[in-house]
Amino acid sequence: MHLVPGRPDPSRARPSWSRPGGPGAETEDADRRAQREARSERLHDLITQCARGDDSSFAELYDLTSSRIYGLVLRVLRAPELAGEVTQEVYLEIWQQCSRYTRDKGSVLAWMTTIAHRRAVDRVRAERSRIERDSRHAASSAVPEYDTVWEGVGRNLDADRVRRALDSLTRIQREALSLAYFGGYTQSQVAQLLGLPLGTVKTRIRDGLIGLRDTLGVGA
């Protein structure tokens, strides 16, 4: 997965001057990328130590990542008690599985985030079908929220940078991506919620991710 240089994809060839941030953002980008790599290496060391049963490394891994993981789980589940419970399950799975982590699974944080998202989505869907069973009215009258996530929370440089990248997407791309990733809806549910054909939703989600990837300069 690391071996992707030069993959022919015109959407990646966006010159740096056309990226949000404008001229001069180049060195800032480079600094940030270096920082990100250093953080990522630290997480890699920690997970290697965790795999040998070192619980103090696990504690540090938690300290460095928990606001990202908990915040995501909370955003999907919206209920703090549930989010705490699911976050604990997520970290226990990570503790249990950490010897199975290898670099070809992506960065440590991406690996952890994937686990967390999967669990949060499983849980929110289970909760939704329970609510639906309990009272069909409650589910149908629930108004989904979207496109509000980008405001408030987490005022820092990284969050601002990501928020700017999100602003560069079209509204439909942002809404489709947000409902799928943070709302925990399936693509057909997203299509229904937005009143768009399924095919359109699929391409908007993907286009949104391509846009973010290129703007944020993320590689695998």
Partner 1 sequence: MRNPHDIIGSYVTDALDSGDVMEFAEHRAECEDCSNEAAEFAETLTELTHVTAVVPPTELRGALLAAARQRPQLPPEPIRLRSPAQKATGRRGRVSLLLAAAAAALVVALGGWLHSSTQVQSYQVAASEEVSLLSASDVVVRRSTVSGAPVSYIVSEQRQRALVVGEGLAAPGPGRSYQLWRLTSAGAQPDALIPVGGTFRTWVSGSLNDVTGLALTLEPAGGSARPTTEPLSLVKL
**Which of 94, 137, 149, 134 is closest to 116 using CA atoms?**
94
How far apart are CB 96 and partner 1 at their closest, in Å? 6
Which residues, 93 to 132, sit near partner 1 by CB under 8 A? Answer: 93, 95-102, 106-107, 109-110, 113-115, 117-118, 121-122, 125, 129
Rounded to the nearest 10°, the torsion over CA 100, 103, 107, 113 is: -20
- What is the maximum alpha-carbon separation in the chain? 56
Q: Does 202 bind partner 1 (CB under 8 A)?
A: yes
Q: At 83, list the tokens.
A: 């989010």
Which residues, 7 to 36, sit near partner 1 by CB under 8 A? Answer: 7
209 conformational bin, left if phi > 0, alpha if psi -120 to 50, beta if neither: alpha
Q: Which residues contact 99 (CB under 8 A, 6 or more apart)?
A: 51
How far apart are CB 146 and partner 1 at their closest, in Å? 13
Q: Does 206 bind partner 1 (CB under 8 A)?
A: yes
Q: Does 182 bind partner 1 (CB under 8 A)?
A: yes
How far apart are CB 67 and partner 1 at their closest, in Å? 5
Q: Does 218 bind partner 1 (CB under 8 A)?
A: yes
Q: Which residues contact 129 (CB under 8 A, 6 or more apart)?
A: none
Q: Does 49 bind partner 1 (CB under 8 A)?
A: no
Window of 14-22, 23-31, 137-145, 183-191 that interacts with partner 1 by CB under 8 A: 183-191
Applying CB under 8 A, among 19, 47, 58, 169 the residue interacting with partner 1 is 58
Q: Is the separation of the CB atoms in 198 and 190 below 8 Å?
A: no
Applying CB under 8 A, among 48, 49, 168, 186 the residue interacting with partner 1 is 186
196 alpha-carbon distance from chain centroid = 24
Q: At 214, list the tokens.
A: 């290129």
Q: Does 144 bind partner 1 (CB under 8 A)?
A: no
How far apart are CB 17 and partner 1 at their closest, in Å? 21
Q: Which is nearer to partner 1, 135 or 203 (CB)?
A: 203
Q: Does 163 bind partner 1 (CB under 8 A)?
A: yes
Distance CA 216, CA 29 (A): 9
Q: Count the helices and strands in the chain (H runs, E runs).
A: 9, 0
Q: Going residue by residue from 76 to 95, which x/- string records binding to partner 1, judged by CB under 8 A? A: ----x--xx--xxx-xxx-x
